[in-house]
Amino acid sequence: MGKITIAIDGYSSTGKSTIAKRLAAALGYIYVDTGAMYRAVTLFALNHGFVNEKGELDSAALIDKLPEVNLKFVPNTETGRSDMFLNDENVEQEIRSMRVSGFVSPVAAIKEVREKLVKIQQEMGKDKGIVMDGRDIGTVVFPDAELKLFMTASPETRAARRYKELLEKGEEVTYAEVLKNVEERDRIDSTRTISPLTKAKDAIEFDNSDMGLEEQFERIHEFAKRVIAKDA
């Protein structure tokens, strides 16, 4: 059976990664979390002092240091998934923090950052058999992907999911803080000049505000199997 490219785009905290991981496992495909890549670059910027006390990002300094950013996914035998490594250091937990979430959208809006990561992503998917999620996978990274999905949900629903997830990880945050972060990321992601978050014309839209994970997966899995069979 032939292999296809599956692109999953959408707003933050819509469960893109959860669905993408499960779908890849079910199909025997490679999964790539592009959000983790942008989060790792954001962590690099924070750790190097490129964000000042006022919360202003020094884009020029980050661009200058981009050649020093080395990213790779390393399989984790305990979880059965792959962890994000930044310059040979496992940063999988650090990149999921609110500290990183607060700056990932401005970093991801930088043209040079996107160019560097898109090139890596396209190389990863050149042989197909891949499920990749992010903001511009179906529009920029793989515009010819055989299956494109666009995930959405209300800001309130997404903030509640994210808030629960952060509390379970032991972070001290309020729901109001998380909702504000979700809404700000939506604004930046949708209005940035370079590769803004938009639904590809041929993408299937999934509003999962009132949809459980199981129902989402079953529907998407069926879509994927049909497209794969048609493409074979």
Give 143-178 pLDDT, tens digit per residue. 999 999 999 999 999 999 999 999 998 989 999 999
| Rounded alpha-carbon distances, angstroms, from residue 207 to 10, 50, 122, 210 | 10, 36, 27, 8
Place of tokens 């990213």: 71
Sheet holding 89-90, edge to edge: 71-76, 81-86, 89-90
The per-residue pLDDT for 1 is: 63
The per-residue pLDDT for 129 is: 93
Banded pLDDT at 2 (limits 50, 70, 90): confident
**What does residue 78 show for φ and ψ, rounded to 5 degrees?**
-75, -40
The per-residue pLDDT for 54 is: 84
Q: Which two tokens stand for residue 182?
A: 């979700």
Average pLDDT over residues 181-203: 92
Question: Is residue 208 predicted with pLDDT exceeding 90?
Answer: yes
Q: What is the pTM of this model?
A: 0.84
What digits encode the pLDDT tens for the residues 28-75? 899 999 999 999 999 999 999 999 888 899 999 999 999 999 999 988
C-alpha to C-alpha distance for 144 and 146, rounded to whole angstroms: 6
